[in-house]
Amino acid sequence: MFLLREAYGGEHDWDLTDYVRSVADGKNKNHTWRNVAMWTYGILNTHAGDVLPAFPEYHKEADALSKNATTVPFDDQLLQKIAVVNIKKSNGDPSSSDDDLMKYAKYDAKEIWEEIELIDPTVIISANDPSIQDELAKKNGFEINRQDKTSHLTINEHDVILIEYFHPADLRHSDLMNYCNLMAMYQRAWKAINK
């Protein structure tokens, strides 16, 4: 599950689930969702004793994909294996304000947590300020104990890995660097749970 900040659809009304489905079907191009697909690939193919999975098998196509591309050549099945929860449910802005998101997290904490419990994830990648996760936890009666930006939660009586990471739209680092760092964090957290 990806715990993101707020959906951004520009000036028009739109539906995030329809949009992600259209990306999965190759009808739209989007750097954010391409990264989500690559990260999903890595998580699904990372195990405790293994070498980290290579940058996705479709990396040549992904490298060739420019912002002007007309199709998205990654495996559409990857985006069908994820869930997305946004802290702010209304259409937001191209960049998010942590103060604004905190207001939504405080106000909607119970409902957001219920949504997460219904999804019943095994891994949560959070692109939010850690104080927002702390607020969700506090309002729902537990604490997040962090080690190296990873945590272990219990949801519906099973272990869940929480990784606090960059937003998949982050352009400060290369896609390859973001992928490798996230996979290493996930593998360490996975090993800790599965000792």
pLDDT at 71 over 70: no
Burial of 152 (0-12, 13-18, 19+ CB in 10 A): middle
Comparing CA positions, the residue from 61, 121, 56, 111 lying closest to residue 86 is: 111
What pLDDT is attached to residue 133? 87
Give 29 or 181, the one with higher predicted confidence.
181
Average confidence (pLDDT) over 93-106:
79
Residue type, 10: G
Q: Give the pLDDT band (50/70/90) at residue 115.
A: very high
Would you list the domain boundaries of the chain?
2-193
Of residues 17 and 166, which shows the higher confidence score?
A: 166
Q: State mean pLDDT over 39-49.
A: 83
Query: Would you say how long the chain is, in residues?
Result: 195
Q: What is the band of 74 on the pLDDT scale with cuts at 50, 70, 90?
A: low
Out of 27-31, 65-69, 71-75, 133-137, which region has the weakest mean confidence (pLDDT)? 65-69
Confirm if 46 and 181 have CB atoms less than 8 A apart: no
Task: Give the residues across from 2 on adjacent strands.
Answer: 84, 125
Q: Which residue has the higher pLDDT, 172 or 113?
A: 113
Secondary-structure class of domain 2-193 per CATH: alpha beta
Confidence (pTM):
0.83
